[in-house]
Every structure is written in structure tokens, then in C-alpha cells.
Structure 1
Amino acid sequence: MSDGNSKSDDLSSEFFQQMVEAVGVGVGIYGQDGRYIYVNDSYAELFSATPADLVGVAIWEVAPEVDPDTFDAYWNSFADGDTRQAETVHEYSGNRVPVATVTTQRTIDGVPYHFGTIKDITERKAQEREIQQQNERLENFAGLVSHDLRNPLNVAQGYVDMLQADIDRDELTLVDNALERMDSLVSELLQLARTNTPVGETDPVSLFDTVTKAWDSVATIDADLRLAGSDTQILADESRLRELFENLFRNAIEHAGADVEVTVEAQSDGFSVADDGPGIPPEERDRVFETGFTTNPDGTGFGLNIVQQIVTGHDWEIQVTESISGGARFVITGVKMVD
């Protein structure tokens, strides 16, 4: 084939028509010998080349991840109609291009071909790298700020503890409370910064084990935890899931009081966290996940925003409703269960 826009003698009109329908998308077709027999302009232009330059070139000369020594095994691993997707890098004539590929094996007139569509994803990959770098810089900055703020806070807290041991003054209690609030703000600011990082690998985790660990890490001396339903294994980033529960538990204690009863219930497509506090008015339920929104003068307004970001990172959904006792109930759905 000398012209990427013309029909090869090896291709039937039916197969060629399928190529024509892929206008605007890079297209490459190769046979059982691994060499391109058809390339369209969109694909060739990725390398500042012409279709004629690429016709006859072996797939492994363009796609380095294809090993010529194992190409036969790769070819034979396809059944007719099989389709596979991949993100890789294609190279030709000194040009390297990140691409998303979709490869399908089709047999026309008894002859098998691999029909591939190739999309340039250079811009998306650059954006992903930029976001990753921004997240790393943000986390490093947050860690530095946290460290630099906590050092003087710890010194001040130490002196207040010493004074309280010798002096009974209401003013010292006010200072102590202010220092605790500052420490809470530092912790939640750092946590909020880290929620911009993607959710990590998801693995099967015990819902109730994670709930118990989160409960034990929060100041819940006078509060009660009740588990409802049957424990189940869910697919989640365990560290971030625990972080989600910790923030919901702190929210319950902050708004319902230290003696709140919290119920975590396993459901068929997720779980819920409910309390027996005053609840959240319907007109405020759409705003509770906004950064900085709080109805508690001592609250930071970060906790529920962190919860929402963790939920979104898992591709779950969260809804605020009312518990049986009239308190707040957070329902998380779209969770993948492990059989």
C-alpha cells in the first residue's frame, strides 16, 4: 500500500469501510507477520510522517512494549473479536508519543487482522504529572507548616500544663482550650491538604475492623459505638477509609456531645454512620461538605469536606439524611463488596 488513504489488495471493502468510519482517530492495521498494512493520516501525523512511511513497519518497531520474540504468542492469545485496551508510548523517527490504544482482532475473508485505534494522550499525561507535582508540593508544604507550628504549640502547652499543676485559674483553662483548638486546626489543615492526593490501591478490608480502629483513635471516652448488620469485606484504601470514619466520629462528638451514641450499619451497597444528636436541618444538608462550613463556633469546617473527598476518590456517593432518633445520618453507597 503506497497511500494511507487508499485500499490495500489484502483488505476487503467491508474491512476498509470500517477504517473509513474511524476518521479523526489514529488507525493502524497489521497482519499476522506484525507489519502494518494500513495506516491513516491521523496516526502517521503523530510522528510527522506519512502513511506510506509506516506501511510495512513492524509493530514492535513502533510499540517498544511488543517483543518480537514473543509476538507470535501475543498474536495467538487473541480470539476473533477480542478487544484490549492499553496506555503506552509509540515511537517513530525520533518522536515519542503517549497513546491510548484499542486493539481488536477481526477475521475478514478467512484472514485475521489486528485493527487498532490510537489516540494521542500527551496533554492528559502532562496534566496528570502537573497535578501530581502540585499535590507533592502541597503535601510537603503542609508537613513543613505543621512541624513549624506544632513546635511552639508544644512548648506553650508544656508551660500551661506546668502552671495548671500549681495554679487554679480559669484563664489557664481558656489558654489550654485555645491551644487544643490550634492543634486541631493544624491537624485538619494537614489532613485536608493530603486529601488532594489520589486514593491508593484498594484491597478487601473488614468494614467493622476499620470502624473499631477509627473509633479507638478518636477521643470517645463517654461515647458509645454500635455496630449493626453483618461485618463485610469491602474494596477500599484502608488508610483513607479509616480517615473517613475518624472524621465522621469527630463530627458526631462535636455536634451531639461527648456522650453521643454512634451507629455504623453495614448495607448491601455500602454503609451508614448515624448519631442520636440534634441532626442537620434539611436546608443545611447540601452545604455541610463545603470547606469551612460549620455551625459549631469551635469547629473548623474541614472534617466533612475531607469525608466527601475520600468518598469521591473511591467513586462512592454520600448523602445526608436523618437518623431514627432524629440525629444526623450519613449514607455511603456505590461501595464494592467482596464475595
Structure 2
Amino acid sequence: MPSDAPDDLEPEFFAKMVESVGVGVGIYGEDGRYTYVNQSYADLFGVTPQALIGQPLWEIVPAIEANAFEQYWDSFADGDTREAETTHTYNGRTVPVATVTTQRSINGTSYHFGTIKDISVRKAREEEIERQNERLENFASIVSHDLRNPLNVAQGYIEMLQEDISRDELRLVDNALERMGVLISELLELARSDREIGDVTPVSVTTVAEEAWRTVSTPNATLDTPDATHRILADESRLQQLFENLFRNAIEHAGSDVHLTVDTTTDGFYVADNGPGIPQEKRDRVFEAGYTTEGDGTGFGLNIVQQIVAGHDWEIQITDNAGNGARFEITGVEFDD
């Protein structure tokens, strides 16, 4: 604002500028009491701005106690900006908010300028997703437990019968029971695949890939891994889950004698096979839950892979392997070499 601007326009101009921000604004001084709030902030509590002016911060922000305010104030240096998610409470209303607070000095007097954004919708959505995930995992665990017991009993009887009787029908029943076991395992895995990525630590691509290979390999399949001990930042158990699903997918589509290669790139890593590849027109769909190009497939494996990739903030794309086969390339990976 130019210094020669009429004084009587300055408050109006300031108020219009603050309201144009589109979120709540609150200003308080060293005594912790609001000296200014805008209408957007007051609307969170169904009151007028005047009702909040003069109120102490600790009466509205439960996370800040009255006897700790001085310490909180002194922890700021001029120009410091801090972000937080908390709740503000007034007039019988409690609102989850995201705040950005900056300390500024004007004519030698310090103030805290805060923007306050209502995040009720996002918090409600996150809580609902968490409840849904808990219900889904509980359901999957119950189904897994309640189905595995009779399934194991049935498989045991089939094995006993096959020792005395050689019939194609018994082999077909055995295959069907094995198929049920795979579906139960993948149902449980799918239910748990939405959980958040845990702590990321430096892990060896080679070590994790080889550990995954030991759980899914077939006698005639082969795997090549990087010679160098490249380390990336990842949730190790989820990374192993990613490799296991890509390996199973290759065995399922390229055969039990598939040759697989795992190697690193400048910004990530890839898993490639020497199978028939994936047609261009199908690549956009293979990560959909339940989509499969094989009658024996569940369609869950690659969807789980995509969820793990997204949870790490990586990206995945399918390309052609050199010569033939499919190549799943993961990028946006941070190395720790």
C-alpha cells in the first residue's frame, strides 16, 4: 500500500485482501489474544469476528495450554513459519484444521499471523477409509481362517486317496483345491495391500529380489539380479511383496521355465521376462483389480503391485523387453548408494 494512500481506506483494503485468501485468518500478539480474525475463520464456529477478538489462543486451540503459551511464543524467531494439523474449538463446535503460522514484527511489535483451513471433509474421508480397511482386513482374516481349515482337511484326504487311486478326477479336484488356496491368499493380501507404507530404509535390490524369488520360483525358472549392491529407500516387506507378485505374474503368463531379469536404472529398477509380452492395447488395464488375461489368473497381483508403487510415490509403466517379453519399469526411486 503506498504511504500516501488515505488512512480511511487502509482497513477496508486490508479486510478485502484477507477475505480474498479464501481461508480463515487469525492474528494474535504476545499476550496470546486475537487482535484480528476474518469472517471465514469466525464462520467455522458460527459467530461474528468480534466474538473472537480478545479471546486467548488457548481457549480455542486445546493443543496450546495457557501455562505453556509463553514458551510456545518464545520458540518462534521473527520470520519463522510452521505448519500443523490440529483442532480449534469454540461456541460448542470442534473443527479439525490445517494451520500455517508465521511470526512477523511490525513497528517493533511481534505478531503471529495464521491461516486456518477447515479439513473436516478430508479427515472424515480418511477416517472412513481407515474403518473400511479395518473391516476389509477383519473380513479377509476371518474368511482366510475359516476357509483354510476345511480346505486343508480336503487336501489331506485327496492326498490319501491319490496314494491308493489313480484317477484324473482326483487330480482335477486337487487342482481346484490348490486354486482355492491361491484365491484365499490373494484375498488376504489384497485386503492388506492398502495399508500405509511403513518406515523406508536403505535396502538392497538384489537381496530383496532374491528373497522374493525363493518364495515363488519354479524348478525350471531362472532369475538374474544386479551384480552391484544398489540400495534404494523402501519399505522392505512391501518391496518384497512387489517382487513376489511380479514374479508370479511372469510365471503365470510366460510359463514355469521363464527367465526373469531384475536390474536398476538411473532412477529406479525393472523386472523383465522373456515371455510373450503384453499387447499395447491391454497395458492400461492390467493393473485393474480383478482383470486378467488368463483363465487361471486372479487379477489381483498387478493391482497390488500398483498400490505398493503408489504408496512409495513411485511410478510404474509396462514396456517391451529387449527382443521379446514384458518389462515392468519402476521410476522415481531414491537411491542410497
Output the TM-score relative to the length of structure 2: 0.89
- The aligned residue for residue 248 of structure 2 is 250
Counterpart position of 1:162: 160
Matched ranges for 1:102-113 at <5 A:
102-113=100-111
Distance 1:50 1:13, change over 3 A: closer
The alignment status of 1:125 with 2:98, answered yes or no, reads no
Q: Share of identical aligned residues, percent?
A: 66
Are the counterparts in 1 of residues 27 and 36 from structure 2 also a CA contact under 8 Å? yes
CA contact (8 A) 1:229 1:266 kept: no
Q: How many residues align?
A: 329
Q: 1:286 to 1:109 in 2, by over 3 A?
A: same
1:76 corresponds in structure 2 to 74
Q: Does the alignment pair 1:29 with 2:35?
A: no
Give the counterpart letter for 1:180 in structure 2: E
Q: Distance in 2 between matches of 1:232 and 1:36?
A: 54
Report the residue type matching 1:255 in the other structure.
H
| 1:24 alignment partner, SS class | coil
Structure 2 counterpart of 1:116: 114
Bigger Cα displacement from structure 2, 243-252 vs 219-228: 219-228
Provide structure 1 residue ranges, at least 5 long, that are not aligned to the other structure: 1-8
Q: Contact conserved, 2:19 with 2:38, CA < 8 A, in 1? A: no
Distance 1:203 1:66 in 2: 34
C-alpha separation between the residues in 2 aligned to 1:144 and 1:232?
40
Question: 2:3 aligns to what?
Answer: none
Match of 2:321 in 1: 323
CA contact (8 A) 1:229 1:267 kept: no
Q: How far off its partner does 1:20 sit?
A: 2.5
- 2:265 is matched with which residue? 267
Alignment TM-score, normalising by the size of structure 1: 0.89
Q: 1:274 to 1:107 in 2, by over 3 A?
A: same
- Determine helix, strand or coil for the equivalent of 1:104: strand
In structure 2, the CA distance between the partners of 1:268 and 1:71, relative to structure 1 (3 Å rule), is farther
Gaps of 5+ in 2: 1-6
Mean Cα deviation higher: 34-43 or 70-79? 70-79
Match of 2:43 among 45, 62, 66: 45
Q: Distance in 2 between matches of 1:264 and 1:219?
A: 14
Once residues 116 and 68 of structure 1 are traced to their aligned partners in structure 2, the CA distance between those partners, rounded to angstroms, is 18
Q: In the alignment, which residue of structure 2 is the partner of 1:296?
A: 294
Q: Among 90, 94, 97, which residue is 1:96 paired with?
A: 94
- Cα distance in 2 for residues equivalent to 1:15 and 1:35: 23
| TM-superposed deviation, 1:15 | 10
**1:23 positional shift:** 4.5
Q: 1:307, CA displacement in angstroms?
A: 0.9
Letter in 2 for 1:288: V
Asked whether the 8 Å contact 1:19–1:27 carries over to 2, the reply is no
Match of 2:186 in 1: 188
Closer/same/farther in 2, CA of residues 99 and 154 from structure 1, 3 Å limit? same
**CA deviation map 1:70-100 (0-9, x unaligned):** 4334333333332211110112233211111
TM superposition shift of 1:250: 0.3
